[in-house]
């Protein structure tokens, strides 16, 4: 392992479960000191203990800050906690996300507000705050977790779909404005990934089909959290120094197929 990111500091939101936990683990393996954000203190503390115990020689350190990224007042505390160990933030991963299964005509405004607050407003506000820190340093890498649902409508997750489309354009806007300051911003769009959030949205039968032999995906399966995390860590590192304002889709080829002819008779 080359550990090209060794001794850098990263802030990862939603770092306790699913894709966020795997991103954190891989950053630690690269020697990055990671501050993770989670709403539930018990889960946060357990995650920090488990990742610390599993860390190998030369790995980075992990610490946690309990906060709700939908609460604006919490964000300054999050940034302060990330700055405390080294006085800098080299990597920001806006990963925290929620969804609400409701159609356009049935979604209550309060549900819309909550999804937009977590999925889009929080990345915007953290990018503002951390972007100022990175501008002072003269360098930084921001990676936003978007989704294939930001590229096209998928199911009745109207607020989620719209929020992820917004994340894609926030990524481009950030790249254009902050690129001259030495800050890169890219996004990763996972396809259906076996995470606790996905498991809560699907039946056991659906999960079984999507795990192996899923005809909608050229890879015939969902992607794994590790496959998504690998793209995030790549974009955070110097090997991606020429990549800015770009979205990497990690979906096994799902959205490459328009799925037109397959729906016709014969």
* Helix 109-116 / helix 158-178 crossing angle, nearest 10 deg: 30
Query: Is position 157 annotated as part of the catalytic site?
Result: no
Phi, psi of 188 (to 5 degrees): -125, 130
Please spell the DSSP secondary structure of 180-211, one letter per residue: GGTEEEEEEEE-SB-SHHHHHHS-HHHHHHHH
Q: How far is the C-alpha of 228 from the C-alpha of 239, rounded, in Å?
A: 17
Are 122 and 13 within 8 A, CB to CB? yes
Which of 12, 82, 122, 160 is flagged as catalytic?
160
Q: What is the DSSP letter of 4?
A: T
Residues forming the active site: 160
């Amino acid at each position: 392992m080359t550990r090209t990111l060794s001794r850098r500091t990263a802030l990862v939101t939603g770092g306790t479960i699913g894709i966020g936990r795997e991103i954190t683990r891989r950053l630690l393996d690269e020697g990055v000191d990671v501050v993770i954000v989670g709403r539930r203190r018990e889960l946060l503390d357990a995650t920090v203990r488990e990742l610390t115990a599993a860390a190998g020689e030369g790995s980075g350190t992990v610490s946690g800050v309990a906060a709700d990224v939908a609460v604006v007042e919490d964000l300054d505390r999050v940034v302060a906690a990330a700055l405390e160990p080294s006085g800098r933030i080299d990597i920001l991963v806006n990963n925290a996300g929620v969804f609400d299964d409701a159609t356009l005509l049935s979604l209550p405004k309060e549900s819309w507000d909550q999804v937009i607050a977590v999925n889009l407003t929080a990345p915007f506000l953290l990018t503002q705050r951390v972007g100022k820190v990175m501008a002072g340093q003269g360098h930084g890498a921001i990676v936003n977790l978007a989704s294939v649902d930001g590229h096209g409508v998928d199911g009745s997750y109207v607020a989620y779909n719209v929020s992820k489309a917004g994340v894609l354009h926030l990524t481009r806007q950030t790249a254009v404005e902050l690129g001259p300051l030495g800050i890169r911003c890219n996004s990763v769009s996972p396809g259906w990934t076996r995470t606790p959030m996905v498991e809560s949205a699907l039946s056991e039968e659906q999960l079984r089909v999507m795990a192996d032999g899923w005809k909608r995906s050229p890879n015939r399966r969902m992607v794994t959290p590790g496959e998504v995390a690998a793209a995030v860590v790549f974009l955070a590192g110097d090997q991606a120094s020429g990549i800015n304002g770009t979205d990497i889709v990690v979906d096994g080829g799902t959205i490459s197929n328009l799925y037109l002819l397959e729906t016709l008779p014969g």
